[in-house]
Structure 1
Amino acid sequence: MEEVWVTGAGMTRIGRRSEPLPELMAEAALAALAMAGLERPEAIVVAAMNPEEFVGDGNFASNVASHMGFADVPTLRVETATSSGAAAFYTGFAEVASGLCSTVLVVGGEKMTHIATPRVSELIGRSIDPYERSYGATMPALAALITRALMARHGVGEREIAAVAVKNHAHAARNPLAHFPTPVSMDEVMASRMVSDPLRLLHCCPISDGAAAVVLSDTRGPVRVAGVGQGTDTLALRHRHDLTSFRATQTAARAAFTMAGFGPARVDFAELHDAFAPFELIALEDIGLVPPGKSGTITLDGETALDGRLPINPSGGLKARGHPLAATGLAQIVECVWQLVGRAEGRQLNARVALAHSIGGLATNNWVTLLEASR
């Protein structure tokens, strides 16, 4: 297997955007190509969760390629619900690692803010098991069930969950591309309106527009792809053995660390999927970054802050940077790359190894990616 390098990374500002989705994706892609010093990739992988419903366009890979002037470049689209960006990264990685291509552009994006919130929630909810959905289950409702189980079985408190949101908003305040670059206090989080008990508004990520992209190459670059892993689980929550950990994350992490040849202790910082604040706590333990039962305490104690022992979500995470669905897995990787090459202005860490973790659906199709600075 060939070594694979990230030679370019680009991202749009996340938030409410007026531009068409292909234009947002082109903006991110052209920025990544510029960083890589590449005029034309050999192949393109596009991530978009549901452009047919969100923007009314199909055949979206060809749409994006044509918009960038690459109509004759082989292009395909990848979809694994909200982890589509990470899945597209894996697809591009495989194309380069196998020797099929020397350079691959991977770009993901979503545009949703022009649609009424109930409709967006309904479309995202289609990634839930149809039987559970038929009885009124929504993504926030099922996430709330998981949160309640976490509190009951592992003693995680409201302040520990709120601390995730407070920290990630503080990080986003240093990120000029974030959807919500505004700090929030513990009191504000705990007083925000209830969405689905015990989850409050400020525990939940926003509906966002945006795009992100990377260039992968078989030529040595600034960042090496050390490992990639995928894990899957039952679509139905009722069929799972445990609600307080995600088997798909555990499987993905094991695969990524096995490929990399090192363990969690080597990770300097991570971008974790925090669509709901308690999911960050679950991921910390599932990946092995902290001991079982300790994620809430170390978060409350500040160990996962920018100046802490193990910074988590320096970008602001899904919670505050924003969550443009298929762009998110790539946005996490872009943040990791920028940190590793010294381009994370205002929030720069001194790091060598980064981890990105992306959840698809309700933790049914998850990914862990390990990146290492080549210096």
Structure 2
Amino acid sequence: MRDAYLIGAGQSDFGAFPDESYRSLFRTAFEEMVESVPDGISRDDIDEAYIGMVSIGGRQIGLPGPAVTEHVGLDGIPCVRLENACAASGYSIRQAIQAVRSGMADVALAGGTEVMNDLGRDRARYWLGVSGEMEWERMAGTTFSGVFAQMASAHMNEYGTTREQLSHVAVKSHEHGAKNPHAHLGYECSLEDAESAPTIAAPLGLYHCCPMSDGAASVLIASEDVVDDYTDDPIRVAGAGASSGGIGLFERDSYTSIPATKQAAESAYEEAGMAPEDLDFAEVHDCFSIAEVIAYEDLGFCEPGEGGAFAESGETRLGGDLPVNTSGGLKSKGHPIGATGASQMVEVFEQLSGHAGDRQVEDATVGLAHNIGGSGGAATVHILEKEGSA
């Protein structure tokens, strides 16, 4: 198969935008993406499109992919919408990579868009719930915060992880997000702020939970045959992994690990010929602070049970050995479900291109993006490398 390269990426601001639609948000992301391609690109060069969207609130459940590609002037190209809960655009990226590697496309677009803040609280809870296990969890009244609270409690009971260690994750994420002009919650918080915030689902407090966001993101994947037409500084997709698993906690052997993440990471590391110690930074799925702690362990950044201490150590901050979620992550940057995976790739592109501004990781050459759906029923892991850096 041919090598695939990341040649451009862009996103809208994330937040609450009552005057925006899923189409207009995607247009903003698309235009920023086009402008980011170093040597420029024409709409006519794009062969395929894959759009992640959960259609929160029931808007445009059928054909939302063509609805946004037509809106940005990509008339006539093959387009499909992917829905894999919060991993929707992580999987759209996977499909774009596969299309390019297989020879079906020379340039493929992958992205996502979501509007979430025009719903009342009860409707929002319902539509978020469709991404979880419906029959035995959601219909019984369990929320996503409740599911991740169970995971946090299990991690604390099994390993001695503390609530304060979860708060260190939140403090770090806001520290990074305050440097990201696109972030929904672009401000810093103190450890005291995180520790004293109202409880959402014990032991998780307000600062341990991500916001519901409106927003969009998109990226361009190109083949080795054409990449030189678009950039002299290529970023190669070194490894791509994906997996799925039980969508309900009761279907798993453990509440303290997400098997789909471990399996996707194993595939990505193997394909890349790399290990966790080869990474310069990572974007991981932190819908709740405990999710980031578990991701540290499942992705091999530390041993099982050591994620809390790893968060507290400061190594995941900018300037640490492995900065995590330099974008602010879902916690601070925001979480428009269908766009989240693609927005992680936007951060990878900016870091490896040296355009991350105050968030820049020094001498960054290898980055990882990790995206999960629901509480771990689906996962993607992508490893990207600035070519010529090995």
> What interval of TM-score do these two structures reach, taking the shorter chain for normalisation?
over 0.9
Whichever residue aligns with residue 285 of structure 1, its letter is E
State the secondary structure of the residue aligned to 1:259: helix
- What residue number does 1:295 align with? 307
Identify the residue that residue 324 of structure 1 maps to in structure 2.
336
**Residues in 1 aligned to 2:53 and 2:216: alpha-carbon distance in whole angstroms:** 10
Q: How far 1:148 moved relative to its partner?
A: 0.3
Distance 1:202 1:54, change over 3 A: farther
Map of 1:43 onto structure 2 = 48
In the other structure, the counterpart of 2:198 is 193
State the one-letter code of the partner of 1:16.
A
Measured after TM superposition, the shift of residue 293 of structure 1 is 2.4
Amino acid paired to 2:42:
E
Question: Which aligned pairs between 1:173-192 and structure 2 lie closer than 5 A?
Answer: 173-192=178-197
Mapped pair 1:170 → 2:146:
no
- The alignment's C-alpha RMSD in Å is 1.2
How far the C-alpha of 1:166 sits from its partner, in A, is 0.5
| Distance (Å, rounded) in 2 between the aligned partners of 1:339 and 1:349 | 7
Deviation at 1:294, TM superposition (A): 2.1
- What corresponds to 1:206 in structure 2? 211
Residue in structure 1 matched with residue 142 of structure 2 by the alignment: 137
Q: 1:246, 1:133 → 2: CA distance?
A: 19
1:68 is the counterpart of 2:69? no
1:247-326 equivalence runs, <5 A: 247-326=259-338
Counterpart of 2:267, as a letter, is A
| Alignment match, 1:362 | 375
Whole-Å Cα distance in 2 between the matches of residues 361 and 9 of structure 1? Answer: 25
Q: 1:237 — aligned with what?
A: 249
Contact 1:3–1:225 (CA<8 Å) still a contact in 2?
yes
- Measure, in 2, the Cα distance between the counterparts of 1:273 and 1:235: 16
Q: CA deviation at 1:56?
A: 4.5
2:34 is aligned to 33
Which is further off, 327-336 or 115-124? 115-124
Compute the displacement of 1:77 (Å). 0.9
Distance 1:249 1:298 in 2: 18
User: Is 2:223 the counterpart of 1:223?
Assistant: no
Matched with 1:107 is: 111
Deviation at 1:34, TM superposition (A): 2.7
Residue 196 of structure 1 aligns with an amino acid whose one-letter code is A
How far apart are the structure 2 equivalents of 1:39 and 1:347?
30
Structure 2 length normalisation: TM-score? 0.93
Secondary structure at 1:235 match in 2? coil
1:372 paired residue number: 385
The CA deviation at 1:30 is: 2.2
Structure 2 stretches of 5 or more lacking a match? none
8 Å contact from structure 2 (residues 148, 288) kept in 1 = yes
Identity %: 36
Q: Distance in 2 between matches of 1:205 and 1:315?
A: 13
Letter in 2 for 1:171: H
Per the alignment, in what secondary structure is the counterpart of residue 127 of structure 1?
Answer: coil
Distance 1:115 1:185, change over 3 A: same
Cα distance, 1:329 vs structure 2? 0.4
Q: Is there any run of 5+ residues in structure 1 with no aligned partner, and where? A: none
For these two proteins, the number of residue pairs brought into alignment is 374
After superposition, the C-alpha distances for 1:282-307 in whole angstroms (9 at most, x for unaligned) are 00110101223222112212111001
